[in-house]
Amino acid sequence: MRMTTLRLRDFRGYQQVLLTPPEGVTVLVGENGAGKTNLLEAVHLCCLGRSHRTANDREMIRKDQETAAVQLTVERRDGKHEVGVRLFENARRRKIVYVNGKTAAKIGELMGHATCVIFSPEDLALVKDGPQVRRRFLDMLLSQQQRAYFYALQTYMAALKQRNALLKQGDFRQLPAWDEQLSAAAAPVVRLRRAACEQLNSRARTHYYYIGGREEETFGMRYRGGLSDSADVKADMMKGLAVCREEDIRRQTTCFGPHRDEIELTLSGELLKAFGSQGQMRTAALSMKLAAFDLLEAAQGEPPLLLLDDVLSELDPERRRRLIARIGRAQALLTCTDEGDFIGARPACVLHVEKGMLTQRESREDADNA
């Protein structure tokens, strides 16, 4: 897929911006705090209806403004798709999404029109932090891959909230009814997550071999949780909830279910989190993201947009070369603080970012042809 326009209005530090990236790699160069990541965040917001780095939408509205707007147009095999998001500081509806010029009734309608995978230094958290980060990684991937997953997850989370509210209120008569609902809602979530993990596992393993460059290091991703091997997810979830009921009542929260799932990461059988070096963890995170890229590409028959935030400078030249070779087929926005950082990336366009302004510098293609 190809991004043809990105428009921002009162988004973060930008008053008004129109970006029309060419095919291939567009490099955004600028000092720390210049606003490079903000541009990638705007693309992410258009693809997924949320930021990749904050859960607080209002943070993205430019200081002292009432509303922010972002709009993204992509050309795909089946034609043009236009998606937009508007955020409000003070309004009944804090967020409105638009698809092809029309207001969408639900955030979910945004999913799948424009898709992206973002790589950033914070990806290390995928390996180092708690299971929640890995669940979110899966959720973002699956939501972009199929809208049905996003709705299934929403249904599950809503049922979970209800059940937890009953536990807090001490109202246990309704629990069996909610156990049934929660279990029914858990089934598609667990099935799709399990399948995605299997596909991610084989692809991430291959990427790890390639980027890490060490045959003896075998990367593994495995879906773990109370329902990881279940043949009848709904029935087993009901059983699990029954077993945990006393504990749930005592702790006033639901202790069993896919909201507690984990994706276990291993290197040659050992837990990566416990035994991995910084370099191994970095390669693992990169491999997971590349695998997500593959899955989206396979599902949609064309590569998603690539957002590369300050990632090249962290890699040695050989890993950098390998990463660029792997993703060469996609359109990309790539940020860096130093022009030397993107050597090897063959940018089609270099933009300088400074205090809410973008200026075009040079075209490497022209330079090459000269």
Ligand X SMILES: Nc1ncnc2c1ncn2[C@@H]1O[C@H](COP(=O)(O)OP(=O)(O)O)[C@@H](O)[C@H]1O
DSSP per residue, 9-45: EEETTEEEEEE---SSEEEEE--TTSSHHHHHHHHHH
Measure Cα distances from 301 to 47, 145, 221, 295, 304 in Å: 17, 11, 24, 10, 9
Question: Which range touches Mg ion (CB under 5 A), out of 16-24, 30-38, 107-115, 176-184?
Answer: 30-38
**Given the complex with ligand X, which of 30 and 347 has the nearer CB atom?**
30
Helix, strand and coil content of the chain, in percent to the nearest 5, comes to 50, 25, 30
C-alpha distance from residue 182 to each of 134, 172, 225 (Å): 22, 15, 16
Angle subtended by helix axes 36-48 and 131-145, to nearest 10: 60
State phi, psi for 250 to the nearest 5 degrees: -65, -45
Partner from ligand X, Mg ion, none contacting 131, C-beta within 5 to 8 A by type: none
- How many alpha carbons fall within 13 Å on the CB side of residue 44? 23
In the complex, the smallest distance separating the C-beta of residue 44 from Mg ion, rounded to whole angstroms, is 13
**Contact between 37 and Mg ion per CB under 5 A:** yes
**Of residues 214-273, those binding ligand X (CB under 6 A):** none
Considering the complex, state which of residue 30 and residue 226 has its C-beta at the smaller distance from ligand X: 30
Applying the rule CB under 6 A, the residues between 94 and 123 that interact with ligand X are none
CB of 34 to ligand X, least distance (A): 4
Give 265 or 353: the residue with its C-beta nearer to ligand X: 353
Q: Which does 63 bind (CB under 5 to 8 A by kind): Mg ion, ligand X, none?
A: ligand X
Least separation in angstroms between CB 12 and ligand X: 4
> In this complex, which beta carbon is closest to Mg ion, that of residue 29 or of residue 175?
29
Q: Are 257 and 163 in contact (CB under 8 A)?
A: no
CB of 70 to ligand X, least distance (A): 13
Q: Which does 288 bind (CB under 5 to 8 A by kind): ligand X, Mg ion, none?
A: none
* Options 17-25, 36-44, 141-149, 277-285: segment touching Mg ion (CB under 5 A): 36-44
β-pair partners for 96: 86
Give me the least distance between CB of 353 and ligand X, in Å please. 6
Binders of ligand X among residues 16 to 75 (CB under 6 A) are: 30, 32-38, 59, 61-63
Got the DSSP string for 86-143?
A: EEESSSSSSEEEEETTEE-SSGGGGTTTS-EEEE-GGGGHHHHS-HHHHHHHHHHHHH
Smallest separation, CB 38 to ligand X (Å): 4
Considering beta carbons, is residue 38 or 287 the nearer one to Mg ion?
38
> If we measure between CA atoms, which residue out of 240, 148, 234 comes closest to residue 190?
234
- What residue ranges bind Mg ion (CB under 5 A)? 37
- What residue ranges bind ligand X (CB under 6 A)? 12-13, 30, 32-38, 59, 61-63
